[in-house]
Structure 1
Amino acid sequence: MFVALEPRRLYRQVAEQIRILIETGELKAGAKLPAERELSERFGVSRPTVREALIVLEVEGYLQIRMGSGVYINRKPQPMTDAVPVDDSDGPFEILEARLLIESGIAEEAARRATPASIARIDDILARMEAGLEKPQLALTCDRAFHTAIADIIGNSALNRFTGLIYDRRMTPYFEKLASYFEGPHTWRLALEEHKAIRDAIAAGNPSAAREAMRQHLTLAQKRFSESFGEEPSRED
């Protein structure tokens, strides 16, 4: 039934293959899909790739994800207009990887150039974020402001623009649905503490520590993203 895929936009290929099986009736309405681990083995892809594909199909209306129970075929798909990324759009795990690689370098350089004024700006953002942990939209706004403020320290408009643009790729119904499986006051609290570690390393003028703190933060964000969704949330690929 399922065919192993080549490594290009894998989550979209997985979603397309499942979508075809649903539309042709090979996967029946009301049926339960195989477990996430089994799907990843059949497709020959990672479990995060399967997770992304399933949420694409949930947003489109083809699937219903019941946490703790499984993933079921909807009886009457009702796609949401503009809910899914356009063709060749980057997946969330690709974006997190790109951010890890680039923002770690940005934090390293920021530690060399930080001024008391730039640190004060970061402190203000962190204070607002801490006060808004129970308000998801405010926490998200402060999270973006924190990362762009670090890029601002360098004074390179291209880096600043990149940081904002890549962060904004998550501002779609698809990403919002994906984030709904793991974001909340607890995860924002963890992110805040990680932000403080980045801030302290930059304020101390320690480039290597700043780079490592940012790398650790985005690695942990990816881990939270990965472990929060699926039938086996405590395991990793």
Structure 2
Amino acid sequence: MLEGRPEVDVEPVRRLKVADSVAAQLAQLITDGELPAGSRLPAERQLATRFGVGRSSMREALRTLESRGLIRTEHGVGVRVAETPMTAEAALLMLDGCTLPDLFEIRRSLEPLAAGLAARHATPAMIDDISALHHESLRADDQRFVRLDARLHRTVAQASGNPVLARICCSIESLHVTYSERVIGLPGRRAAAEAGHAQIVSAIAERRAGLASNAALRHIRDVEDDVAAQLHRDVPRAAADVRERW
């Protein structure tokens, strides 16, 4: 999604609302026992027809349910209702076919590098864009903040001057948005994110590559610490193997 482009922004918002509605209805069917544990769901195409939505919306809805631990995808079998649904804490760890630790491992490699290179190679116009995104995010609500957060990191990667790095960072942006939507409500998370962004933006503007890299790494570590603190309240058995990686 490209913010600032009205003709592009409207359509993704509509699709997400449809997917959320479908996910909520399916979740209710599971909760009510109309889709019992272990039962197999109809094929994606059939579900899309039954709900009167497009396959992309249905696919997004199923991903949402899987991230919440309500359904499981079994290769060669299809999608089944989970025998033992995940707790909210376990679901917090799961993304589209990967986990938050998986995402953070990659971010720790890419984003400090991108910030350091941006401090060296960003043009004055690029630095202005990065700064403007940061200041705009401070005035945004949480939903808008999540989108601007992802856009800020994407713009830093583009400012690195390395098109391969920028492309890789862009490829994980959807996962970035997904996890951000889940964690933005954690106590103090929004304020910590804003502070981290401020340090990264300031270091890039001052052309201090080492400081920018360190700020980006600290920014990611802060998120990890917040999620780990949340999980420490009640580490579910279903997430124990993933939690050990932290």
Q: TM-score, normalised by structure 1?
A: 0.58
**2:100 alignment partner in structure 1:** 92
The 1:232–1:157 alpha-carbon spacing in structure 2 relative to 1, beyond 3 Å, is same
Higher percent of residues as helix: 2
The 1:56–1:116 alpha-carbon spacing in structure 2 relative to 1, beyond 3 Å, is closer
**1:183 alignment partner in structure 2:** 184
1:94 partner letter? D
Residue 199 of structure 1 deviates from its aligned partner by 0.8
Task: Work out the CA distance in 1 between the residues paired with 2:212 and 2:98.
Answer: 27
Task: Work out the CA distance in 1 between the residues paired with 2:167 and 2:193.
Answer: 22
**1:117 alignment partner in structure 2:** 125
Task: Work out the CA distance in 2 between the residues paired with 1:64 and 1:149.
Answer: 35
The 1:155–1:131 alpha-carbon spacing in structure 2 relative to 1, beyond 3 Å, is same
Counterpart contact for 1:152–1:160, Cα < 8 Å: yes
Counterpart contact for 1:99–1:218, Cα < 8 Å: yes
Task: Work out the CA distance in 2 between the residues paired with 1:145 and 1:84.
Answer: 19
The 1:127–1:232 alpha-carbon spacing in structure 2 relative to 1, beyond 3 Å, is same
The 1:225–1:162 alpha-carbon spacing in structure 2 relative to 1, beyond 3 Å, is same
The 1:207–1:216 alpha-carbon spacing in structure 2 relative to 1, beyond 3 Å, is same
Question: Where do 5+ consecutive residues of structure 1 fail to align?
Answer: 1-21, 24-54, 72-82
Question: Where do 5+ consecutive residues of structure 2 fail to align?
Answer: 1-36, 39-65, 72-81, 236-243
The 1:92–1:205 alpha-carbon spacing in structure 2 relative to 1, beyond 3 Å, is same
Task: Work out the CA distance in 2 between the residues paired with 1:212 and 1:84.
Answer: 26
5 Å matches for 1:146-185?
Answer: 146-170=152-176, 175=179, 180=182, 182-184=183-185
Residue 150 of structure 1 deviates from its aligned partner by 0.6
Percent of aligned positions that are identical: 22
**2:195 alignment partner in structure 1:** 193
Q: How many residues align?
A: 161
**1:7 alignment partner in structure 2:** none
The 1:57–1:127 alpha-carbon spacing in structure 2 relative to 1, beyond 3 Å, is closer
Is 1:138 the counterpart of 2:139? The answer is no
The 1:64–1:168 alpha-carbon spacing in structure 2 relative to 1, beyond 3 Å, is closer
The 1:120–1:225 alpha-carbon spacing in structure 2 relative to 1, beyond 3 Å, is same
The 1:124–1:226 alpha-carbon spacing in structure 2 relative to 1, beyond 3 Å, is same
**Matched residue SS, 2:87:** strand
Counterpart contact for 1:107–1:150, Cα < 8 Å: yes
The 1:151–1:57 alpha-carbon spacing in structure 2 relative to 1, beyond 3 Å, is closer
The 1:63–1:126 alpha-carbon spacing in structure 2 relative to 1, beyond 3 Å, is same
Counterpart contact for 1:197–1:213, Cα < 8 Å: yes
**Matched residue SS, 1:229:** helix
The 1:119–1:59 alpha-carbon spacing in structure 2 relative to 1, beyond 3 Å, is farther
Counterpart contact for 1:92–1:170, Cα < 8 Å: no
Counterpart contact for 2:115–2:212, Cα < 8 Å: yes
Residue 208 of structure 1 deviates from its aligned partner by 0.8
Counterpart contact for 1:59–1:84, Cα < 8 Å: no
5 Å matches for 1:1-12?
Answer: none
Counterpart contact for 2:122–2:161, Cα < 8 Å: no
2:101 partner letter? F
